[in-house]
Amino acid sequence: MYTLAVCAEMVYRDLPIEERARRIHEAGFQVEIWDWTRHDLSALAQTPAEFSSMTGYIRGTLTDPDGAAELLRTAEESIKAAEHLGCPRLNLHGTGLDSEGLPVVPVTGEATGDMWITAHRTLTRLAELGESAGVTFTLENLNTAVDHPGVPFARAADTYALVAAVDRPGLRMNLDLYHAQIGEGNLIELIRRAHGAGLIGEIQVADVPGRCEPGTGEINYPAVARALTDLGYDGTVALEAWPSGDSHTAMERFRAAFTL
């Protein structure tokens, strides 16, 4: 059976992050955060929350050697932060994102062969770092049509290809079904394929359009939950969504969609 988590960056936004973590924990979910440098880690560590995932780098990009060096350096700092919180997964994107979610180093058009090779080499090194520290890096698919234009390796198919090619336990996919629905659709087949290859490190969810909780849009999340259960998926499913109303109700709707 899977475990449910909630991204604290998107719920209870009028409260300090520690209070959000506490409320999410009290509601029975694990907690996810994004850029840990914006938070007081000691205060977060003092909450009873169990952390599931956080951003695994501060700056950098997968597509060029200088950016890759920065990514690796800041990933090492992120491993230390994850140890402080007891957080098992460190999330990556094709390139660093600014506060609007836009790529710091955008790629127009398709990534070049050199970019793919640099990404493969960098991800292999990140996987090695993760394995020696006992954490897993996850590479998240994003959508370029609505939220993250110009991010390289954004499609679920791209993250699948890179994670499969690296083929190390220290690197897995963060299969974000909200982004995948906008980019590619065919969600249950995507899950079956990635799960069958043993590549899923975590699943994130929100509905389309609007990026709110399950039940507010076009994705049939109860059918997704049934497929995950039938497959025996026992990883994390995390709500990374804006509440359509109050945060507590959004979390309960998420729980209901994933409770069979």
Ligand X SMILES: O=C(O)C(=O)CO
Least gap, CB of 232 to ligand X (angstroms) = 26
Decide whether 79 or 142 has the Cβ nearer to ligand X: 142
Stretch that binds ligand X, among 66-74, 125-133, 139-147, 246-254 (CB under 6 A): 139-147
What is residue 174's three-state secondary structure? strand
Decide whether 49 or 142 has the Cβ nearer to ligand X: 142
Stretch that binds ligand X, among 22-30, 103-111, 140-148, 165-173 (CB under 6 A): 140-148
Q: In the window 213-252, what residues touch ligand X (CB under 6 A)?
A: 240
Least gap, CB of 22 to ligand X (angstroms) = 22
- Residue 140 interacting with ligand X (CB under 6 A): yes
- Residue 128 interacting with ligand X (CB under 6 A): no
Q: In the window 16-55, what residues touch ligand X (CB under 6 A)?
A: 34
Decide whether 142 or 225 has the Cβ nearer to ligand X: 142
**Does residue 140 have an active-site annotation?**
yes
- Residue 2 interacting with ligand X (CB under 6 A): no
- Residue 147 interacting with ligand X (CB under 6 A): yes
- Encode 173-205: b = buried (16+ Cβ within 10 Å), e = exposed: bbbbbbbbbbbeeebbebbeebbeeebbbbbbb
DSSP string, 33-96: -S-GGGS-HHHHHHSSPPEEEEES-SS-BSSSHHHHHHHHHHHHHHHHHHHHHT--EEEE-SB-
**Does residue 26 have an active-site annotation?**
no
- Encode 115-133: b = buried (16+ Cβ within 10 Å), e = exposed: bbebbeebbbbbbebbeeb
User: Which is catalytic among the residues 18, 32, 202, 240?
Assistant: 240
CB 210 within 8 A of CB 218: no
User: Which is catalytic among the residues 32, 140, 202, 213?
Assistant: 140
- Residue 207 interacting with ligand X (CB under 6 A): no
- Residue 176 interacting with ligand X (CB under 6 A): yes
Closest Cα partner for 82 from 30, 44, 28?
Answer: 44
Tell me the residue nearest to ligand X as measured from the CB. Answer: 34
Decide whether 97 or 250 has the Cβ nearer to ligand X: 97
Site string for ligand X, 75-104 (x = CB under 6 A): ----------------------x---x---
CB 53 within 8 A of CB 138: yes
Q: β-strands 51-55, 136-140: how paired?
A: unpaired
Give, in order, the Cα–Cα distances in Å from 251 to each of 6, 21, 216, 241: 8, 13, 13, 10
Q: How far is CA 105 from the centre of its chain?
A: 19
Which residues sit at the interface with ligand X, rule CB under 6 A?
34, 97, 101, 140, 142, 147, 176, 240
* Enzyme catalytic residues: 140, 240
